Amino acid sequence: MHELSIAESIVRVACNHADERRVTRVHVKLGHLRQVVPSALAFSFGLVAEGTGVEGAELEMEEVPAAGICRRCGEESQLEGFPLVCRTCGGFDLEIIRGEELLVEFLELEEA
């Protein structure tokens, strides 16, 4: 379950940037291609956050759909599932431009 290690990283990032203030909300962008199970990440986040300045914070997840540009025809396609294929020409040679994100977008903190 890689969600546990992802949750540990999110909590570490939040603690490092909170400057000893309590974190009330963490907003994360998750690319579709990261294959993260939201319920598993939320559960792991709650466990890892215990005893830290992030304990009790809301984890808000925004899924970023996958998209790519076909190297054969040049069209941009939203990539719904596997195999990743151009929706215009059926080509498999794609440059992924969205969907691989794993980013702590912002934190909400209590005033010092």
> What pLDDT score does 1 carry?
60
- CA–CA separation, 92 vs 94, rounded Å? 6
What is 3-65+99-109's CATH topology? hypothetical protein PF0899 fold (3.30.2320)
* pLDDT band of 20, cuts 50, 70, 90: confident
The dihedral built from the CA positions of residue 85, 87, 90 and 93, taken in this order, carries a sign that is: negative
Other CB atoms within a 10 A radius of the CB of residue 74 amount to: 10
* pLDDT band of 23, cuts 50, 70, 90: very high
